[in-house]
Amino acid sequence: MKSTMPKSFRFHFAGGGTAGHLFPALAIANEIKQRFPEAEITFWGTRRGIEAKILPTTNFTLEFIPVRGFQRRLSLRNLFFPFALVASFVKVFRSLLVKRPKAVIGTGGYVSGPVAFTAWLLRIPVFIQEQNSYPGVTTRLLARIAKRVYVSFEVSKEYFRNREKLRVTGNPVRADICRASRNEAFRKFGFSPEQPVLFVFGGSQGARRINQLMADILPVLLEKTSLQILWSTGPSDYDEIRGKTAADTRVKLFDFIKDMPDAYAVSSLIVSRSGATTLAELAACGLPSVLIPYPYATGGHQVFNARSFESEGAAVCLLEKNLMPESLAQVIQELLGNPEKLQAMAKAAKKLAKPDAAKVITDDIFAELKIK
């Protein structure tokens, strides 16, 4: 039910850099706007993050700060870290002091740090949402000052001290993620709806190893199957992969795909990393997948994510270490040659979905803030 509120009713979101941090924030923000169209929503981010591409296409305000991640290896960039951090605190402090939002909601990443901490100093309520089974450093630090911490996995509880703050909600996904018109999506990408589509992606930045594996097996897949391939390479590998696929009309190549609902709508099978937001979207759309976890994810959380989907029959998990191209090709061919198996995987994925996560989180935030 929609309600009315003063125009000064504001929420600020901090979380970007990658799609995994940004899209859950967007899901919660959209839930708030659906209930209260008058609410003013502001996102904090950087010019380098995915938010700089995505948010200008929305009706939300985007504010930039110069903060950047601290490199764990020896790097000259770390010399500038303190200056960027201080400059970020100053800009956020001035903004929050004037605008006084009802709450700041952080969804992880280094942007969340200065925004959430400044809000706490100004006694503005802070809420944190964590996507992964193993919470990041920023989330664990901010959990101490947050009113609530929303986690996606039950196992995440063991990494926090103040467990009374925790709520296990699942990972929010955008309401429109599975609502694209299938026919329109096929026309948009130039695919035939009569043939299967393999959608390959490695997150907003791409995944070099997945791109290499797919480039190696592409001739075999195109020769032995009627497969069509939708491939999001990430910006770093796009030119190289384009040079290898330019002659293949059944391959549609992008450095980044903004319209993920359309991409999911045409997909018969997914090959991807296993970040929590990706898996939440695959579950919501009921899509079978071959998951190749990023081996260096903090706490090995991508392996945990992929194994959990595999154990439920929703995916096949292939560990990157020692993964040979022919093994990946064999798995893809076997799955595409077994429609019954794909259908069973799709149903299993759908059972893992928590489509109400954004609603549950918003309900809890509003209850804490005594908003009706």
For residue range 98-113, what is the model confidence (pLDDT) as tens digits?
A: 999 999 999 988 899 9
| Cβ count near 98 (within 10 Å) | 7
State yes or no: pLDDT of 73 exceeds 80.
no
CB contact at 8 A, 292 and 209: yes
Same domain? 168 vs 238: no
- Range of lowest pLDDT (77-91, 119-133, 176-190, 333-347): 77-91
State yes or no: pLDDT of 345 exceeds 80.
yes
- Average pLDDT of the residues in 278-292: 97
In what order do the strands lie in the sheet containing 197-201?
Answer: 251-254, 228-232, 197-201, 269-272, 289-291, 315-317
Same domain? 239 vs 334: yes
Same domain? 205 vs 88: no
pLDDT for 4 equals: 45
Q: Is residue 133 situated within a structural domain?
A: yes
Q: Is residue 324 situated within a structural domain?
A: yes
Q: What angle do CA 65, 237, 182 make, to 5 degrees?
A: 85
pLDDT for 1 equals: 43
Q: Is residue 5 situated within a structural domain?
A: no
In what order do the strands lie in the sheet containing 148-151?
Answer: 61-64, 40-45, 10-14, 103-106, 126-130, 148-151, 166-168
Terminal CA-CA length for the chain: 10
Same domain? 248 vs 124: no
Cβ-based neighbours of 296, under 8 Å, separated by 6 or more:
none
State yes or no: pLDDT of 11 exceeds 50.
yes
Same domain? 252 vs 119: no
Q: Is residue 42 situated within a structural domain?
A: yes
pLDDT for 225 equals: 82
CB contact at 8 A, 211 and 243: no
Looking at the DSSP bridge assignments, the partners of residue 232 are 201, 254
Q: Is residue 62 situated within a structural domain?
A: yes
pTM: 0.87
Same domain? 155 vs 266: no
Q: Is residue 35 situated within a structural domain?
A: yes
State yes or no: pLDDT of 288 exceeds 80.
yes
In percent, how much of the chain has pLDDT > 90?
Answer: 75
Same domain? 229 vs 296: yes
- Average pLDDT of the residues in 180-188: 96
pLDDT for 285 equals: 97
Alpha helices in the chain (DSSP H): 19-35, 51-54, 81-99, 112-121, 137-142, 182-189, 208-224, 238-245, 260-266, 276-285, 301-311, 325-336, 339-351, 357-369
Reported as a single tens digit per residue, the pLDDT across 223-270 is 888 899 999 999 999 999 999 887 788 999 999 998 999 999 999 999
Same domain? 275 vs 234: yes
Q: Is residue 3 situated within a structural domain?
A: no
Same domain? 47 vs 147: yes
What is the domain count for the chain?
Answer: 2
Q: Which of 288, 159, 292 is nearest to 214 (CA)?
A: 292
State yes or no: pLDDT of 287 exceeds 90.
yes
The C-alpha R_g of the chain, in whole angstroms, comes to: 21
- Tell me which residue range forms the domain holding 97: 10-173+355-369
- Average pLDDT of the residues in 41-51: 93
Q: Is residue 359 situated within a structural domain?
A: yes
| Average pLDDT along the chain | 91
- Average pLDDT of the residues in 118-126: 97
Same domain? 70 vs 154: yes
Please give the helix or strand (H or E) that residue 271 lies within, else none: strand 269-272
- Range of lowest pLDDT (73-77, 278-282, 309-313): 73-77
Q: Any idea what the CATH number is for the domain that residue 164 is in?
A: 3.40.50.2000
Same domain? 291 vs 147: no
Same domain? 218 vs 144: no
pLDDT for 329 equals: 97
State yes or no: pLDDT of 5 exceeds 80.
no
